[in-house]
Amino acid sequence: MKISPKQSSTAASAVQMPRASGQWKPGHVYISIAGVMLVVALACINSLHNGFVIDDRDQILSNPLLHDWSTLWRCFAHNSWWNGNRRALTDYYRPLQVCFYVLSFHTAGDSPARWHAIKLALHLAAVVLALCAARLLTKKDSAALLAALLFGILPAQAEVVSWISSVPESLVAIFELGALCLLAGSRTTVSRIGAVLAYAVAIFGHESAITFPAIVACWAWFFDSSSARDSGNSATRERAARAAIVSAPYFVTAIVYLVARTAVVGFAGFETKAAVERPDVGQSLATIPAALWAYVKMAALVWTSGPIRRVPWVGSFASWAFIQPLALVCIVAAAFVIASRLSARRDLYLFCGSWFVLSLIPAMDLYVIGMDLTSIVADRYYYVASFGVCVIAADLIATFAAGRPQRAWILWPAAAVAVVGLTVPFWRAQGDFRDDVTVLKAKIAVYPDAVEYHRLLAQEFEKRNDLRGAEREYKELTRLDPDKQLYHFYLALIERKLGNRKALSAEYMKSMPRDITPLLAQPQPSSTPVQ
């Protein structure tokens, strides 16, 4: 498409850069895109064998509201657990997640395979938009294709691909990347309005999109100003003004969301404070460095994955658990900023770094401790943020190999081997979400002392009539919490079903209140009538 002189202004050239030398032919690009999509789709097939796990049953199978089309508009006046007995135990306000459930339920019904096929389609859509966004940012076809491929097969993405209830993360990725594509791809009024509307869908799908206006401001600072490459006070003022103007509609949209959220779930977003134990502000702030360091390691150790990551809460700013990760995060951040500023691609790398950090901060679960479920860091929270890491890695590889055939012959085969190496753990990680038992076993492997996980696993074994499995988990519960009489009682019931009369008697006695146990242990008087 030819660009008119009017369209080729200085400001527009910052976004619509000319095609660099060595770009692929259009036919080759389309074939490569199809290849990337095929590889990602094949790598995700293992998820189609999964069933409904964890929250899926409450939100989908046992949710009568999904049968009613009026839920599509009524959900905007209720929280996301607006069904069953848990309606008052959440502060989540994600109406478009509920809308997605309604639409998908009338398509997939109660078939887990169909639901997982829909999740796979969402992931592929996110991969396509990641490719488009990476192309607009890097101006390199090879970097864009590699970034999309990495985004599609990172093992950490397995949770979003394989768990149906992680729909919000998929929606945020799709609509934030879509908004970025509209924002960076065209300067027309229609595209800018479309970008704001896409962001509105993202924020009403998941609260983690609250920082996207800041990401837009970063994009405008680095790419959307005629003085983006200049320095000095005037250039800085121009870039700041441009960033404020471009991001203003997104901040307004975020404010609208916060007003709606406050009207539905309250000012703090907590309807039932007694339902879940919540940390104080100091504890949350002290845990942030440990959580950020866990995500930095996740970005570096790309082959790792799991339904949960072990990051303990930090109780004091003076503890080594706070100081060490803070120092490590500061060192890595400083090294990244220095290396980026020394690079000719500094704007790209600094923007991608901003995307990574700003996407992670609101996603970290730093306000709930309760029920022994520690999920401060989770793979699904990394889904959107990983786009920035993938773009940096892909651009570094493409830049290093550009114009140097001898390097390309070594680097690209090595990248292909790395892709295969990532696909294998990605495929295996999808199996962690096969069913509730598999998920809980994987979580217990990370948190062996988590009482809640053992309790849920024991209940799952009981549902499956696996009495030996239930016995094993209840014994573990009595070891972890020996004073919990209810666990001894449940174990006694299992021992009765197994016919273990001696164990039944022992556990039943332990389940009794301690003040009357000595009385029950005494010999009882004979019931034989006195002659």
Structural domains of the chain, with CATH:
23-433 (no CATH), 449-517 (1.25.40.10)
Which has the closest alpha carbon to 204: 260, 264, 144, 263? 260
Predicted pLDDT at 370: 41
Mean pLDDT is lowest, of 23-27, 453-457, 521-525, for: 521-525
Backbone angles phi, psi at 86, to 5 degrees: -100, 15
316-336 burial: b if 16+ Cβ within 10 Å, else e: eeeeebbeebbebbeebeeeb
The average confidence (pLDDT) of the chain is 83
Q: Stretch 376-405: mean pLDDT, rounded? A: 88
Q: How confident is the model at residue 382 (pLDDT cuts 50, 70, 90)?
A: very high
Which has the closest alpha carbon to 75: 51, 56, 101, 55? 101
DSSP calls for 208-228: GGGGHHHHHHHHHHHHSSTTT
Burial of 386 (0-12, 13-18, 19+ CB in 10 A): buried
In the predicted structure, residue 368 carries a pLDDT above the cut 60: no
Q: How many residues are there in the chain?
A: 531
User: Are the beta carbons of 314 and 321 closer than 8 angstroms?
Assistant: yes
21: amino acid identity, one letter: S
Rounded to whole angstroms, the Cα distance separating 470 from 456 reads 10
Structure tokens at 114: 């169909």
User: Are the beta carbons of 178 and 168 closer than 8 angstroms?
Assistant: no
Q: How confident is the model at residue 525 (pLDDT cuts 50, 70, 90)?
A: very low
Quote the Cα angle for 279-284-285, to 5°: 150
What percent of the chain has a predicted confidence (pLDDT) above 90?
46
**H or E element in which residue 181 lies:** helix 167-185
Query: Model confidence over 129-168: pLDDT tens digits?
Result: 999 999 999 998 889 999 999 999 999 999 999 999 999 9
Q: Helix %, strand %, coil % for the chain, to 5?
A: 70, 0, 30
In the predicted structure, residue 309 carries a pLDDT above the cut 70: yes
In the predicted structure, residue 201 carries a pLDDT above the cut 70: yes
Secondary structure in 3-state letters for 369-432: CCCCCCCCCCHHHHHHHHHHHHHHHHHHHHHHHCCCHHHHHHHHHHHHHHHHHHHHHHHHHHHH
Burial of 356 (0-12, 13-18, 19+ CB in 10 A): buried
Whole-angstrom CA distances from 483 to 224, 450, 507 are 63, 16, 12
Quote the Cα angle for 492-495-498, to 5°: 155
Helices marked H in 301-360 — which ranges? Answer: 320-342, 346-360
In the predicted structure, residue 336 carries a pLDDT above the cut 70: yes
Quote the Cα angle for 260-241-345, to 5°: 100
Q: Stretch 279-307: mean pLDDT, rounded? A: 84
Rounded to whole angstroms, the Cα distance separating 88 from 276 reads 11
Structure tokens at 531: 């002659």
According to DSSP, residue 361 is labeled: G
Whole-angstrom CA distances from 398 to 16, 31, 133, 341 are 20, 18, 16, 19
In the predicted structure, residue 175 carries a pLDDT above the cut 50: yes
Rounded to whole angstroms, the Cα distance separating 33 from 142 reads 10
Predicted pLDDT at 177: 96
Structure tokens at 358: 């700003």
Q: Give the pTM.
A: 0.85
Quote the Cα angle for 176-412-300, to 5°: 55
According to DSSP, residue 19 is labeled: P
Query: How large is the C-alpha radius of gyration of the chain?
Result: 27
Structure tokens at 339: 């290396």
Mean pLDDT is lowest, of 27-36, 164-173, 182-191, 512-521, for: 512-521
Residue labelled with tokens 């209810």: 486
According to DSSP, residue 464 is labeled: T
Whole-angstrom CA distances from 467 to 171, 446, 475 are 40, 24, 12
What percent of the chain has a predicted confidence (pLDDT) above 70?
82
Rounded to whole angstroms, the Cα distance separating 227 from 239 reads 7
Query: Model confidence over 213-223: pLDDT tens digits?
Result: 999 999 999 98
Quick one: how far is CA 386 from the chain centroid?
10
In the predicted structure, residue 180 carries a pLDDT above the cut 70: yes
In the predicted structure, residue 473 carries a pLDDT above the cut 80: yes
